[in-house]
Amino acid sequence: MARVNIGRIMVGGGAAGLICFAGDAVVHGVLLKPGWAAAMAALGRSGGGDVSMQALLYFLVYDLLKGLLALWLYSAMRPRFGPGPATALAAALTVWLLVIPVPVIGLAPMRFFSLKLAALWSLYGLIPIVIGTEIGAWMYREAAA
């Protein structure tokens, strides 16, 4: 059995994380910007959903962690499900469930944002995670035994 290649997890996970970061910039900064502006206004916060450079750094680290988690999970799933796009998709869907819809559903009763925003966030957020994980998985190779 081949060994997990930590270096490739870092490279593929980093690439997946950067793709998630760029994709999330489009999702939250363009597609969901009006929804975030309404959510911030409802909470009495100014700025209309705009983020600072410090917040961007926070989101970059968050997205890199998502990418690393996705590639680690993909590498752990390969022995059971085999390498390839289907396993990468399963890893991406698992990470997506754990980082977007499940936490958002948990926050729904707090009414920080509308259910429409939550649903769109969950739907749109799936796209960068899947693309990033597929590309990161394509970059992954197991270490020699």
Question: Which residues are CB-contacts of 120 (< 8 A; sequence separation ≥ 6)?
Answer: 31, 32, 35
- How far is Cα 17 from Cα 60, in angstroms, rounded to an integer? 8
pLDDT at 33: 93
* pTM summary value: 0.92
Q: How far is CA 72 from the centre of its chain?
A: 14
Residue 57, pLDDT above cutoff 80: yes
Contact 39, 49 (CB under 8 A): yes
**Domain extent listing, the chain:** 6-139
Q: What's residue 44's pLDDT?
A: 87
Can you state the angle between helices 85-99 and 115-139, rounded to 10 degrees?
140
pLDDT in tens, 76-110: 999 999 999 999 999 999 999 999 999 999 999 99
Q: What is the pLDDT of residue 93?
A: 98
Instruction: Decide: helix, strand or coil at residue 32.
Output: coil
Residue 64 has pLDDT above 80, yes or no: yes
- Asked if residue 145 has pLDDT above 70, the reply is no
Amino acid at 61: V
Please list, in sequence order, all residues whose beta carbon lies within 8 angstroms of the beta carbon of residue 90, skipping any fewer than 6 positions away. 77, 81
pLDDT attached to residue 11: 97
Cα end-to-end span (Å), the chain: 7
pLDDT digits (tens, 9 = 90+) for 114-136: 999 999 999 999 999 999 999 99
CA 67 to each of CA 4, 22, 75, 128, 137: distance values in angstroms, whole numbers, following the listed order: 16, 12, 12, 10, 10
